[in-house]
Amino acid sequence: MPLTELIKLCPPPAVPVEPFRENRLEEIRHLYGLALPQEYVACGHTYGTGAFVGEDDHGILIHNPFSSYYHKHVADDLEVASIFFRDAKGARTLLEQNNVDQARLFPLGRDTDVTYMYWVTDPDLSRWRILLIFGEWENWLEVLDCGLCAFLAGYFASGLKVKTWQYREINGRPPRYHFRDANSTD
């Protein structure tokens, strides 16, 4: 199971920050018209709010659906996608080449640089994919045919090459990551 692998590679905090919020999944379903994949929900319960931080200080921030800031993050990142696909030359062509409809994109997270992560949604939750937009290049996006935990575990274990982050490699491998919860002072 990908979450188990992710936990082995990057242990969660003993006491996650905001691991649960009453009725949040129903609220998300009502506001956005979609259910979330179970592994994403489980990741939110397991890790809570925070970031996966590399030894090079690169942070990968996954929007925790139970966070008090979740709706703000979703709104902000929907606006980023709208601007990117309106202004970036060739971006729409890249969506078409990857068989992605912009209306099916839903915010997943971002990194501490200029990469934004989106779900490519599907009525079948097991078919959700991940799309990365690298904001500094107008025609750079990457679609990964996997769920959240497989994406993170695969990247952390060097089994999944993420073109967007290849420049971060240290001796041919990604930086080592740990999870830093939102209340951490380190």
Whole-number Å distance between alpha carbons of 149 and 139: 26
Question: pTM of the entire structure?
Answer: 0.93
Given this model, what pLDDT does residue 86 score? 83
- Which stretches of the chain drop beneath a pLDDT of 70? 1, 89, 136-139, 186
pLDDT per residue as tens digits for the range 16-63: 999 988 899 999 999 999 999 999 999 999 999 999 999 999 999 999
Question: Which of 3.40.50.2300, 3.40.1580.10, 3.40.1390.30, 3.40.50.300 is the CATH number of 2-158?
Answer: 3.40.1580.10
Q: Which of 49, 142, 33, 147 is nearest to 98 (CA)?
A: 142
Structure-token pair, residue 131: 């799309």
Burial label, 18 (beta-carbon count in 10 A; 0-12, 13-18, 19+):
buried
User: Can you give the pLDDT at residue 91?
Assistant: 80
Quote the tokens at residue 5.
Answer: 């692998």
Which string of DSSP letters, residue by residue, matches 98-136? TT--GGGEEEEEEESSSEEEEEE--SSGGG-EEEEEETT
Q: 52: closest CA among 15, 21, 7?
A: 7
- Residue 27: the pLDDT is 96
